[in-house]
Each structure stands twice: as structure tokens, then as C-alpha cells.
Amino acid sequence: MPHVEIYREPVYRIYRSSECSWASFYIKLVNVFRYFLPILIIFLTDGLWKKTNTFREVPNLSVTGDFIVYAYGHDRSIIATSYPVLNAAASSEQLSTSQFLHHFDEIEQHQIPSTQRTSKNLEIQFQMSTQNLSINTLIYAFSLRMQLDYHSIVDTELFLTDTLHFTHPTSKIQTTARLSIDQSQPFQSREQFKIIDKKRQDTEHYQIKTVLKRISESLISFEMERKSTLLLSAPSPPSTLSLSLQLSISEMEFTYKTGFWELMKWFWIQYLAAFFIVDHIFSSITSYMFRNRVFYVTDVLK
């Protein structure tokens, strides 16, 4: 009468050797590589080891009201600023009176197209007296406070900066732009820093060149992606110069350092993924070497 398969179980081959043999030394060496090599692969491979993470967030921006504006002519310059240290250091011929206004426009959610993530617009109106100076270069820096709380607590002072060059007398500048972020290093769990320390009383700390230098060295700064810039010329040097900024504030990408528990969440998944591959390779090599008697061992079927 024919027989049919009713049950199946694996047969294990056990290899035995003395503790001081080459086979025993080989197994110990393989076990070290089997468990620690996946960790080395994770650390050396950026694709597996998740050191940073990127989140999209609409930052909470507020205008502090502080500003520094330099206007340069052919033979002299004028300055308009909200910092008392610079006002005290400037001469009467160099100091310019100014007016600074700003306004936020909230955009309702149903008014935002599906391809656009803008949540608010910022309008800045600035006017300064020119003292009839024929201005050929304008440098401005407007202070803003940015706060983030989605992933980490971030509270920073950032500046809107730009340099404009004129070939003819100009009475008004109208700029439309979108704000973006230039981040050179990932955030820690908590970040708080300022570009200008108001407690400082030395003039050099407030000079536009040193302020721009600190902005360039900061781990994060604003970038204005200009859509249009309109210069309204005048027949002669005007008595005032007006600047109008229309800024669109959209969702921005911020990079953070991975926290400990988030790191552990990714670590064990990555470790197991690498371990299964390494374990399969070493198991195949070991089985081949023992079956072909590369080392002196005795085998038992079980």
C-alpha cells in the first residue's frame, strides 16, 4: 500500500569541537561580527542611521520694531535706526528720521489653493528722510522674532536684509517676495539666540557690517525670494525714500537633530534589518566550511 507524507520535521546537524580548537575560535569571531557588524553598518550609512529629521511648519513670526537702514551717496551716508546706541553715535548730518509700520494679513483656510500652503502675509512700510542725498545704495535690516513649537522649542531673532542699488534718483521701492529659510545646522531640542544684544553699549556691535556678518554665521537666516521689485524714480533727489515690502509666509522646512527615544525607535528597526542580512551571510559561510571539513569537527544528526 502506498505511503503518503503525514508529518515533517527538520533534522539538525550539530558540530562538536574542543574549546581550544580553530573551529571554536572561528565561531567566537563570527559571533562578534554577527552582532556588532550591523551596528557599524548603521553608524557608517547615512541612509540607515537617522541622525536628523525634517518637519514642515508655519513659523510664528512677529515684528520687533527694531531696524537698521543705511543709505549711501557719492560723498556721504545717512542712517535710520531704532537702536539708541547708533542714534547717539551718529552726527546730526548723518542721522535720518524714519517711520516704520507693519501689518499681518491672515489668510482663511478655504482661500488657500491646494497647491499653496501660505497662511499669512506680512506688509512692511518704511519711510526715511534723505536730506536730499542722491542715494545709490540702500542696505536695510528689519528684526523679526521667530518661534517654533511643533517638534522643538525654538525662539530666535532673525533679520530681513537686502541691498539695493540705484542708478537714478528713487522715491519709492515696492518689493513682493516669499520668505524662506536658509538653515545650515539642525536644531537641538531647545534653541534660543539673538543677533543683537541690546545690553551692549559699544557701537561696533550695532554696525551694519558686523550685524550682516553675524547673520551670515548664524545657523538659520531668512531668504527673500523676490517675485518683483518696482523702483519709482524721481527727477531729482527726493526728500524722503519709501520702502514697501509684501511678504508671503508659507510652510517651511526645518531640520532637527533626532531625539533619544526617536533615535531608539529607528535604531532597533534598522538593527534588525541589517542583522538578518549579516546573519544569513555568516550562517551560509559557516555551514559551507563545516560541511566541507575546513575545520576538524565531529557532526551529529539530531
Tell whether 76 and 24 lie within a shared domain.
no
Q: How much is the pLDDT for 115? A: 46
* Opening angle at CA 214, ends 210 and 220, nearest 5: 155
pLDDT tens digit string along 93-104?
Answer: 888 999 999 998
Tell whether 89 and 143 lie within a shared domain.
yes
Tell whether 274 and 244 lie within a shared domain.
no
Three-state SS string across the chain, please? CCCCCCCCCCCCEEEECCCCCHHHHHHHHHHHHHHHHHHHHHHHCCCCCCCEEEEEECCEEEEEEEEEEEEECCCCEEEEECCHHHHHHCCCCCECCEEEEEEEEECCHHHCCCCCCCCEEEEEEEEEECCCCCCCEEEEEEEEEEEECCCCEEEEEEEEEEEEECCCCEEEEEEEEEEEEEECCCECCEEEECCCCCCCCCHHHHCHHHHHHHHHHCCEEEEEEEEEEEEEECCCCCCEEEEEEEEEECCEEEEEECCHHHHHHHHHHHHHHHHHHHHHHHHHHHHHHHHCCCCCCEEEEC
Tell whether 242 and 203 lie within a shared domain.
yes
Q: Which residues have CB under 8 Å from 63's CB, separation 6+?
A: 102, 122, 124, 142, 143, 144, 145
* Segment 55-84 mean pLDDT: 91
Residue 3, domain member (yes or no): no
Residue 222, domain member (yes or no): yes
Tell whether 37 and 147 lie within a shared domain.
no
| Reported confidence tier of residue 214, pLDDT bands at 50, 70, 90 | very high
* Segment 108-114 mean pLDDT: 52
- Tell me which range, 71-75, 107-111, 112-116, 124-128, is most confidently predicted by mean pLDDT: 124-128
Tell whether 253 and 275 lie within a shared domain.
no
Residue 218, domain member (yes or no): yes
Task: Using the predicted structure, report yes or no on whether residue 145 has a pLDDT greater than 90.
Answer: yes
Tell whether 43 and 59 lie within a shared domain.
no
Tell whether 286 and 159 lie within a shared domain.
no
To the nearest whole number, what is the mean pLDDT of the chain? Answer: 85
Task: Using the predicted structure, report yes or no on whether residue 143 has a pLDDT greater than 90.
Answer: yes
pLDDT tens digit string along 226-243?
Answer: 899 999 988 888 999 999
**116 vs 30: CA distance, rounded Å:** 55
pTM: 0.72
* Segment 57-76 mean pLDDT: 91
Tell whether 74 and 31 lie within a shared domain.
no
Task: Using the predicted structure, report yes or no on whether residue 139 has a pLDDT greater than 90.
Answer: yes
Task: Using the predicted structure, report yes or no on whether residue 84 has a pLDDT greater than 90.
Answer: yes
Residue 76, domain member (yes or no): yes
Q: Among residues 171, 1, 204, 192, which one has the least CA distance to residue 83? A: 204
pLDDT tens digit string along 3-50?
Answer: 777 777 777 788 888 888 888 888 889 889 898 988 888 877 765 566
Residue 7, domain member (yes or no): no
Q: How much is the pLDDT for 118? A: 52
Tell whether 137 and 278 lie within a shared domain.
no
* Segment 262-275 mean pLDDT: 81
* Segment 163-189 mean pLDDT: 89
Tell whether 169 and 290 lie within a shared domain.
no
Residue range of the domain that includes 272: 13-49+267-301
| Reported confidence tier of residue 126, pLDDT bands at 50, 70, 90 | very high
- Split into its structural domains, the chain has a count of 2
Residue 95, domain member (yes or no): yes
Residue 44, domain member (yes or no): yes
Task: Using the predicted structure, report yes or no on whether residue 197 has a pLDDT greater than 60.
Answer: yes
Residue 2, domain member (yes or no): no
Tell whether 65 and 94 lie within a shared domain.
yes
